[in-house]
């Protein structure tokens, strides 16, 4: 080989090796300047075409199984269609490199995603019904006080399916369709369908639900379940909703499902957990974690099953109409409920647990005047037994049946519980829940 040609080939091999590429070097001024090429080591003993970087990349990828990681998840999330205004963690880049990366994501295998969420139910101590818009606007300073308990609702959402599927482990009911519109009229499963539609999700999900409280208990079980569904579904499609964006979605979906106005105290208890004071103000709803002793609250609080169930929307709608239509009895009762709730909130913050007893009793007396269906003979018997032994009681939720909250002052729990049992009713075991909404 001529000397000139051999010299040219050696130069070509040196330029094709990684060691000959320019490397950045930092100048004394702090800016970056190119560094002269280093002298290459001995050229590899193989044909020149194997020294190219494209050959090495193809060699490394040959025979390797492609594992779908974030790319697979992003592609799967894009399959669940949503409105253009929602933010997504899988948004594409406008640069050339981003476009090529999106092309690789679309061609990658799609991995199904499973998200689980749980949320607590609640026991309302005072101020319920006022959390329905716009009732609290007519009673300045309105507040609702409730306690989250460990009777939790659970939801699992799976992606990567055709159409939409809904399933309840409580009722064993199932529904499926090509899109959400086809499962809106599926009885007890309709709430999940309304939530998916509110999120703008038309298909591609399977939703499985389970609740530890029966329907009509007055503990906000459907609301806790709705919070779990919206949290899991949003996470599954790559969206994150904070509390201020989550509870309006759930409230509106519940109102659509029930056909009557819905409040928000159940949703905020399910999201935050703990002992809450929910301040209902014009233009703002604020959830306050009360600076009280949760252990003392748990010690004083009993939960008693009245043995009957009811649909809360009926009583709430009657109260709603009475306030709007100018019913003086309803307006006066709501004002008394608002005053008792404010005082009860202050008593808990001041650790005056004895003062809670007369305030809960006053709230219940005012509540019974809201509508004829608020109380029942069973509820009246529980309240009478609690009052005779030094405690107080009120129905949970809108009334008419379900669970009854009983407050026993410090040192009197055993006596109050014995009186309730003697009246023929059984307290239900529970613990305060400080965790709130959890997503996995």
Is the model's pLDDT at 193 over the cut of 90? Answer: yes
Kindly state the DSSP code that residue 160 receives in the 8-state scheme: S
Q: What three-state secondary structure class fits 363? A: helix
| Strand stretches in 160-220, DSSP E | 164-168, 174-177, 205-211
Mean pLDDT of the chain: 81
Tens-place pLDDT, residues 92-103 = 333 344 443 333
Tens-place pLDDT, residues 120-143 = 999 999 999 999 999 999 999 999
- Please write down the long-range contacts of 359-363, taking CB distance under 8 Å and 24 or more positions apart: 359/126, 360/125, 360/126, 360/392, 360/393, 360/394, 360/405, 360/407, 361/387, 361/392, 361/393, 361/394, 362/336, 363/126, 363/127, 363/336, 363/337, 363/394
- Distance, in Å, from the CA atom of 412 to the CA atom of 389, rounded to the nearest integer, reads 8
Mean pLDDT of 415-429: 97
Domains of the chain plus CATH, in order, are 1-25+37-54 (no CATH), 115-439 (3.30.230.120)
The residue with greater pLDDT, 243 or 145, is 145
Contacts of 54 (CB under 8 A, 6+ apart): none
Tens-place pLDDT, residues 64-94 = 444 343 344 443 443 344 433 333 333 333 3
- Distance, in Å, from the CA atom of 88 to the CA atom of 74, rounded to the nearest integer, reads 9
Cis peptide before 134 (omega within 30 of 0): yes
Tens-place pLDDT, residues 38-50 = 444 444 444 443 4
- Distance, in Å, from the CA atom of 264 to the CA atom of 285, rounded to the nearest integer, reads 9
**pLDDT on residue 364:** 97
- Distance, in Å, from the CA atom of 55 to the CA atom of 205, rounded to the nearest integer, reads 42
Looking at the DSSP bridge assignments, the partners of residue 114 are 158
- Distance, in Å, from the CA atom of 249 to the CA atom of 243, rounded to the nearest integer, reads 10
Is the model's pLDDT at 313 over the cut of 80? Answer: no
**pLDDT on residue 48:** 45
The residue with greater pLDDT, 354 or 11, is 354
Other beta carbons less than 10 A from residue 354's beta carbon: 14
**pLDDT on residue 128:** 95
Per-residue pLDDT band for 18 (boundaries 50, 70, 90) equals: very low
């Amino acid at each position: 080989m001529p000397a000139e040609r051999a010299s040219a080939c050696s130069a070509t091999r040196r330029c094709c090796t990684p060691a000959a590429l320019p490397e950045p070097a930092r100048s004394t001024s702090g800016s970056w300047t190119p560094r002269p090429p280093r002298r290459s080591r001995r050229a590899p003993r193989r044909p020149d075409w194997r020294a190219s970087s494209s050959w090495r990349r193809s060699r490394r990828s040959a025979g390797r199984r492609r594992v779908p990681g974030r790319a697979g998840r992003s592609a799967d999330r894009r399959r669940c269609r949503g409105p253009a205004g929602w933010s997504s963690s899988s948004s594409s880049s406008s640069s050339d490199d981003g476009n090529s990366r999106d092309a690789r994501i679309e061609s990658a295998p799609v991995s199904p995603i499973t998200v689980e969420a749980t949320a607590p139910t609640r026991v309302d101590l005072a101020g319920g019904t006022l959390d329905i818009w716009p009732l609290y606007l007519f009673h300045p300073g309105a507040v609702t006080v409730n306690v989250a308990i460990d009777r939790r609702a659970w939801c699992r959402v799976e992606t990567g399916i055709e159409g939409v599927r809904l399933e309840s482990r409580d009722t064993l009911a199932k529904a499926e369709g090509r899109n959400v519109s086809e499962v809106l009229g599926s009885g007890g499963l309709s709430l999940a369908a309304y939530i998916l539609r509110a999120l703008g999700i038309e298909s591609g999900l399977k939703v499985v639900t389970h609740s530890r409280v029966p329907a009509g208990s007055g503990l906000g079980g459907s609301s806790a379940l709705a919070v779990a569904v919206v949290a899991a579904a949003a996470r599954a499609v790559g969206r994150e909703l904070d509390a201020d964006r989550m509870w309006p979605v759930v409230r509106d979906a519940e109102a659509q499902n029930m056909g009557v106005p819905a409040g928000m105290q159940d949703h905020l208890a399910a999201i935050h957990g703990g002992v809450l004071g929910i301040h209902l103000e014009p233009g703002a709803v604020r959830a306050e974690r009360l600076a009280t002793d949760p252990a003392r609250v748990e010690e004083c609080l009993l939960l008693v099953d009245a043995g009957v169930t009811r649909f809360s929307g009926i009583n709430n709608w009657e109260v709603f109409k009475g306030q709007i239509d100018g019913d003086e009895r309803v307006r006066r009762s709501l004002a008394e409920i608002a005053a008792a709730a404010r005082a009860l909130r202050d008593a808990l913050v001041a650790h005056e647990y004895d003062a809670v007893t007369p305030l809960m009793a006053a709230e219940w007396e005012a509540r019974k005047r809201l509508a004829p269906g608020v109380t029942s003979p069973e509820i009246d018997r529980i309240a009478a037994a609690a009052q005779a032994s030094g405690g107080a009681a009120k129905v949970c939720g809108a009334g008419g049946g379900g669970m009854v909250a009983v407050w026993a002052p410090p040192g009197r729990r055993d006596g109050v519980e014995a009186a309730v049992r003697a009246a023929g009713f059984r307290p239900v075991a529970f613990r305060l829940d400080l965790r709130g909404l959890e997503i996995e």
